Chain A
């Protein structure tokens, strides 16, 4: 298909979105990610029955925590598609990248960088 999608997205492959834990999403932000999208199979089409529903709940939890810590819920998003839908994946990637660009960089990383510059040393 040779579809293009934003190059600033790093793909982390998991066997099923049910494998994605809350801590994985939080660690991504702690390490400086600007946004995280969890892309799972269509609801009702999970090979393991409920993997994508589990992911959906964890994304909801992550959103709540990110709001509390001041990063903002909108930086995490769950998408659903079927594995053969390449164009749809590219569209989701575009959409997410646009959304994150509008939100700007991860405020935690920005704060960490600023502190590092002030103290002139590593964290």
Chain B
């Protein structure tokens, strides 16, 4: 999932204070799971904003709505009939949703209510960690299912480096050495010969280095 964190309320207040009619728009997907921008968080933020502005003596309309997704046009269309009634939207979706909402409603200012962080997993309740950087050419087959692009600080393909000690990375004691994990797993799977194979230079053109990316599927396109 895409993992996001709630933005400080002060920051959101600062962005929207000049408007009168605001829609706080949540997303039912990733940000709901990581408890940053789902229906619950929409309720809390909207309630807090209403109280804040009321106390300032300002009569504002702050409504709540949560869409199934903000990254697909059909769900964004669900607010078409009410969008005109608002001066601004605070989107609690990830950066993708914020932008797509803005693209769909060109005359409506859209502000982010969360900081989008990474693609990751729920490792434990309240703890999310990164697993994928979307490099566009998956190499997990040769690394025992552990990604050195996302999890090795140096993105090494033939690791580990000299900074690995006791299974930890030199950048911090809390960071596991991805190559330690890879070796441990390959050994457990009886596939250590794969570790001996030198990985070729990676083609980074499918990563962000090649500019914004796009996929067109002729078989699906209308």
Interfacial residues, chain A to chain B (CB-CB below 8 A): 21-23, 26-27, 29-30, 65, 68-71, 107-108, 111-112, 114-115, 119, 123
Q: Is B55 an interface residue (CB 8 A)?
A: yes
Question: Chain B: residues with CB nearer than 8 A to chain A?
Answer: 9-10, 13, 40, 43-44, 47-52, 54-57, 59
Given A23-B43, A26-B44, A65-B44, check contact A108 B57 (CB 8 Å): no
With a cutoff of 8 Å between Cβ atoms, the chain B residues found around residue A26 in the complex are: 44, 47-48, 51
Interface of A is mostly: helix
Contact A69 to B59, CB < 8 A, known contacts A26-B44, A27-B47? no
**Inter-chain residue pair count (beta carbon < 8 A):** 51
**Nearest CB to that of A123 among chain B residues?**
B59
Residues of chain A within 8 A (CB-CB) of B44 are 22-23, 26, 65
B195 to chain A, nearest CB (A): 43
Q: In the bound complex, do residue A23 and residue B40 qualify as a contact, i.e. CB atoms below 8 Å apart?
A: yes
- Among the listed A30, A111, A114, which residue makes an inter-chain contact with B47, where contact means beta carbons less than 8 Å apart? A30
A70 adjacent to B50 (CB under 8 Å): no
Cα A29 to Cα B47 in complex, Å, equals 9
Contacts of A123 in B (CB 8 A): 59
How far in angstroms is the closest Cβ of chain A from B15? 14
Chain B residues with CB under 8 A of A27? 47
Nearest chain B CB to A58 CB, angstrom units: 10
Residue ID in chain A nearest B42 by CB atoms: A23
Q: Closest CB of chain B to A67's CB: distance in Å?
A: 10
Contacts of A22 in B (CB 8 A): 40, 44
User: Is A114 in contact with B57, judged by CB distance below 8 angstroms?
Assistant: yes
Q: Tell me whether A108 and B54 are in contact (CB under 8 A).
A: yes
B52 with A111: CB separation less than 8 A = no
Which residue of the partner chain, among B13, B48, B55, contacts A111 with CB atoms under 8 Å? B55
* CB-based contact A70/B55 at 8 Å: yes
Looking at A29, A65, A115, the one whose CB has the most chain B CB atoms below 10 A away is A65
| A69-B51 in contact given A114-B57, A115-B57 (Cβ < 8 Å) | yes
Measured CA separation A81–B47 after assembly (Å): 30
Q: Give the top 4 A-B pairs by smallest Cβ distance, nearest first.
A: A69-B52, A26-B47, A69-B51, A23-B43
The answer to whether residues A68 and B57 also contact, given A23-B44, A27-B47 and a CB cut-off of 8 A, is: no
User: Is A65's CB under 8 angstroms from B57's CB?
Assistant: no
